[in-house]
Structure 1
Amino acid sequence: MKKIILSTICSVLLLNSCRSDESINTDPNVAYTTTAETVVSYAQKGLSDYVNTPSVNENNFRLTMQYWQETTYVNESNYDFVNRNVSNNIWTSNYVDVLNNLNQAKKLIEAYSPTPAEFSSWQVKKKNQLAIVDLMMVFTYQNIVDTFGNIPYTQALQLESIPLPAYDDGAAIYSSLITRARADVQALSSGDSFGEGDYYYKGDVTKWKKFGNSLLLKLGIAIADSNNSLAQAAVTEAISGGVFTSIADNCQLPYQTASPNYNPIYDALVASGRDDYIAAAPFVNFLLENSDPRISSYYQLNEDDEYVGQEVGQPGEVDVFSRIGTFAEQPDFPGVILNYTEVAFYLAEAAARWGISDAATAYNNAVLASLSEWNVSAEDATAYLTAHPYNVSNWKESIGLQAWAAFFNQGQTSWNFYRRLDYPVLVAPTTAAPEANKTVPTRMTYPVREQSVNRTNWSTASNAIGGDFLYTKLFWDKF
């Protein structure tokens, strides 16, 4: 596998859709003739780094979901996200490092002139490449909507002509993303795509098709409470088309053992030489109360050979409280984008909501997928499932609690389940920032930079969603 680190030719693409500094577009040291494969590689690593990093500067969802707790500086555990401009960094990571690069890749693909030897197969390859790029854009836009609500969409990524883009309605964006995902899946056909330039699937179009259907499933489930008919139609189509069926289908980045291409979790917990994180009490206690065998994967024993978490929002000493599990000490631990466990939980929710399949069986499959992912033995997995059967009378609690147990290392995924199903029941720390209004955040506030640079559009969007607050509910978060 070629190295993930890329040359500075990609720096041309790091353009925030809301910046108005035109000098950024005329960097004399930047090459404008890179290949689409190179740009896609860069965007894939950027996406994986953002989704998987535990950096308090941009991805605090493990803290929000009370899996992790900070040891010394507990601002983010208390929902003070302004101190480090967290929203600005989320915005930049997604719009700049990922979406603008993918948009540039589209332009390069459209502009490419095939050689005579390539000509006969180019049209199929071009369609595959464009569909793959667009699926990654759909995935990224969904993440941003799920984080903020209304966001720039139709006017985004057009810095030169629209430096200050308007915000689109989140529900309308979702409808568009579903349409795009459907079209992308239909466009994929047998043939070449990106080859080794595709770090996720090595250009395997069959796997990208499964990814596309699984993404369509994810989009549909997300809006089940806000647009039931569209949600069910998307989910039914996705399942019929073929979603993930095993870990072999996982979409993930295979990190390497050397800097700068190791997993960002390893970077934060090991390579940095810092001890910034320990276990959080609510989740540790939940695992202990339920005799969950995954606890030994998620956490390490403390100095007294016990699993102990610290109270949320309070500092704590390493080794007095449990460290994060040894998986975090593996520099090449894969970076998950979308995996089989997540898809299995969507299938369980679809079965519970619409009777698409037997709900108890789908629930069992989802729980077993997570247990297998974390190397729990078949015997222990069976025992755990027997002790935690599907509760048909309160399926949201059954699936919600087991999703919390499963997505220890997928913070935003867990946050989405929590907001949609209202389980687990999380309590904000008494020390939480006033901006949280004594609640666990249900969205991130817009970047401060948007308030100052794109103020008119920011104000309109804020009013449309009910206020730019941490406790404002997204359009799909109905209950």
Structure 2
Amino acid sequence: MKKIFIYSAVLLSLIASLSSCKKTIDKNYNNPELSTKPIISGFFTAMLNSDRVRPAYWNLRTFFFPQISVYAQTTTFDNVSTAYKHRDDYIGQYWSDFYYPSGNGSGPMAVYRAMQASYAALSKSDQADQLVYMEAAKIVLAERAAKMIDIWGDIPFTQAGSLETTSNIKNPVFDDSKTLYNSLISDLNEAATYFGGVKLAGNVQSAFNKADILNSGSVLKWQTYANSARLRLLMRISNVDEATAKAAVTTMLSNPTAYPLVDGANNGSYSPLSSDILLQPLTTTTNSTLSSALVEIDSYWAPDYKLNKVMLPSNDPRIRVMFDKYGQTVSGKFVPNKTYRAMPISYGSGQQDTAFFKYSIVDSATFINNIKMPGIVITASEVNFLKAEAYERWGLGDASAAYNTALKQSITFYYYLNSIGQGTEAAPTTTEIDAFLANSNINYTLAADQTHKLALIYTQKWLHFGFLQSDEAWAEYRRTKYPALTFPVETATDYQNPPTRLLYPTVETGYNTNYNTVKAKDTRTTKIFWDVN
């Protein structure tokens, strides 16, 4: 892929950049008179249409699987000396895809700045009609900017995109990560408040329905998305600023009517399609992007800790839709392995290459060949795990009930993915699920103390994220230090262990003179501000 050397003050021409969007986007991007002048609803649709959110080949193959997923141990990896060394070009492409609408991302920062400029030029009455797009875009930008902070720490934000908003080009400063995180939390609260009270006119609602490829114009889903993303960020800062997090979370969880969440109505047998925030594929294809991404760098083997240490001991009903026993061909006949088991993470690269067929791989229907796999933004299971943590730490509710609901919803979610991938696995019975919840390895009420109860919550949330949400899994692993993963110590100089953050890519450091203000912190061992355990 062609490397584009740019710095984050300069925005590419949006009309030219967005011309590569799919025809579905093109129809929404220009106004009904087929003018070439972009409209805010079109910018909004383009902002949502991101292959950094969907499980697209390039994002998984170049960013998640060789780096983020390795550090979170959500996939397997070749156990070679450079296993923990990142690729600057791949990192730079992910970074650029946040700031610019080209390549594989939708450039949410650039698009949002263009929306701001277009919105400011409207009349007051037109602004009232277009405000719904600005508030929804604010949620998307906040959620994705938080991911950037979780990966790098300080990032250019408040001054990024100056060309669009001020007609001046300047090197943007790196915003302090903690201050910016708190600002994003505030933005999410403002947007949730807006969606909690807005009543859209018929013509505005109709246009919003068409432009909104994420939530189909549902005002309620945008409110739950904002509240749930805010809950995620509040819990992430809860170890470094517990007072702020506790106060805000207490307010939210004590009034579910005013603060609805993506929680599936706390029903274990919920509908992921109607409740979760999922970015569906826009086009029909016969080829799975997951297949090549998983297989090309041996990311399809079952992870050791996940299967051997967590799922098998508890007889987890998700095993049969997450993994395949695999096997080998003997005398022209495929002979499956007798049991599920993962290859030990201690195996070196040579041993991996000769023994992998003896061990399980990820399921083909659920993952490898699933052409309908959506991009996962936030799910009910994650939200209930967040609630369980808050209930346990601060005595706000029934932590055991929230934990069990989250587990049931995770089961429902993965069987849903299997079903849309044309899988034929029958859903587990109530008896099987009850036996799973009663298993001593995951039973909440049998946990010895609060430390062990929180460990159950953190580990099961990490398991639920899996490789499709490796960024969230890595962030939560660094925050909580669970699960208790072990990593092989590699031999490459300066890369013996996984990092605690990514280094800034040269597409930014080579052009933004303000990099000098953060250069001292730009190390693999610098911790993100919320990483204090």
TM > 0.5 = yes
Post-superposition shift, 1:110? 4.2
Q: Which residue of 2 aligns with 1:371?
A: 411
Q: CA separation in 1, counterparts of 2:282 and 2:443?
A: 39
Q: Which residue of 2 aligns with 1:185?
A: 192
Residues 471/289 of structure 1: CA separation in 2 closer, same or farther (3 Å cut):
farther
Residues 29/47 of structure 1: CA separation in 2 closer, same or farther (3 Å cut):
closer
**Structure 1 residue identity aligned to 2:246:** Q
Q: Which residue of 1 aligns with 2:47?
A: 43
Q: Which residue of 1 aligns with 2:523?
A: 469
Structure of greater Rg? 2
Please state if 1:93 is matched with 2:97. yes
Aligned pairs (5 A) from 1:430-449:
430-431=489-490, 433-436=492-495, 438-449=496-507
Q: Which residue of 1 aligns with 2:323?
A: 299
Q: Secondary structure at the match of 2:376?
A: strand
Post-superposition shift, 1:194? 2.0
Residues 51/230 of structure 1: CA separation in 2 closer, same or farther (3 Å cut):
farther
Q: CA separation in 1, counterparts of 2:36 and 2:170?
A: 21
Q: CA separation in 1, counterparts of 2:403 and 2:519?
A: 38
Aligned pairs (5 A) from 1:207-226:
207-226=221-240
Using the aligned pairs only, state the percent identity. 24
Residues 472/19 of structure 1: CA separation in 2 closer, same or farther (3 Å cut):
same
Residues 170/339 of structure 1: CA separation in 2 closer, same or farther (3 Å cut):
same
**Structure 2 residue identity aligned to 1:228:** E
2:84 alignment partner, one of 79, 85, 107: 79
Contact 2:302 2:359 survives alignment (8 Å) = yes
Q: Secondary structure at the match of 1:184?
A: helix
TM-score by length of 1: 0.84
Residues 24/311 of structure 1: CA separation in 2 closer, same or farther (3 Å cut):
farther
Q: Secondary structure at the match of 1:194?
A: helix
Greater shift, 318-327 or 296-305, is seen at 318-327
Contact 1:298 1:324 survives alignment (8 Å) = yes
Residues 25/397 of structure 1: CA separation in 2 closer, same or farther (3 Å cut):
closer
Residues 47/269 of structure 1: CA separation in 2 closer, same or farther (3 Å cut):
closer
Post-superposition shift, 1:469? 2.2
Please state if 1:380 is matched with 2:439. no
Aligned pairs (5 A) from 1:136-175:
136-159=140-163, 161-175=168-182
Q: Which residue of 2 aligns with 1:7?
A: none
Q: Which residue of 1 aligns with 2:300?
A: 277
Q: CA separation in 1, counterparts of 2:208 and 2:398?
A: 38
Aligned pairs (5 A) from 1:24-39:
33-39=37-43
Q: What are the ranges of 5 or more consecutive residues in structure 1 without an aligned counterpart?
A: 1-13
Contact 2:76 2:298 survives alignment (8 Å) = no
Post-superposition shift, 1:35? 2.6
Q: Which residue of 2 aligns with 1:325?
A: 363
Please state if 1:309 is matched with 2:314. no
Post-superposition shift, 1:225? 0.7
- For the aligned residues, what is the CA RMSD? 3.2
Aligned pairs (5 A) from 1:92-131:
92-96=96-100, 97-112=107-122, 124-131=128-135
Please state if 1:66 is matched with 2:66. no
Post-superposition shift, 1:50? 6.1
Q: What are the ranges of 5 or more consecutive residues in structure 2 without an aligned counterpart?
A: 20-34, 101-106, 265-271, 328-335, 416-426
Post-superposition shift, 1:324? 2.0
TM-score by length of 2: 0.76
Contact 1:47 1:94 survives alignment (8 Å) = no
Q: Deviations over 1:431-460 (max 9, x none)?
A: 264434x43332111112222222x42232
Q: Which residue of 2 aligns with 1:18?
A: 8
Q: CA separation in 1, counterparts of 2:283 and 2:16?
A: 33
Contact 2:55 2:290 survives alignment (8 Å) = no
